[in-house]
Amino acid sequence: MPFPISEYSGIWNVIAKDDNECFDLIVAEDGNQYSEHYNKLRENVIKAQRFSLVDEYQSSVIEAFLT
């Protein structure tokens, strides 16, 4: 029996220039597996904690830990 969706979670570490690029990078990495949750994903991207980078880095998904 699969776990209820509420028990799934994770953390994405992404370098992106803005919210839209961050969302697009995660969706590309996800491969449209969970498209029914993309509205919530967009909300979470907008609310996500941000950190400034000291050096120039290419936009990308750095790490994804999903349960």
- Check whether 62 has a pLDDT greater than 70: yes
CA distance linking residue 36 with residue 32, whole number of Å: 9
What is the average pLDDT value for the chain, to the nearest integer?
Answer: 85
Q: Can you give the pLDDT at residue 5? A: 56
User: What number is the average pLDDT over the span 23-45?
Assistant: 89
Q: Which pLDDT tens digit goes with each residue over 10-25?
A: 888 999 999 999 999 9
- Check whether 45 has a pLDDT greater than 90: yes
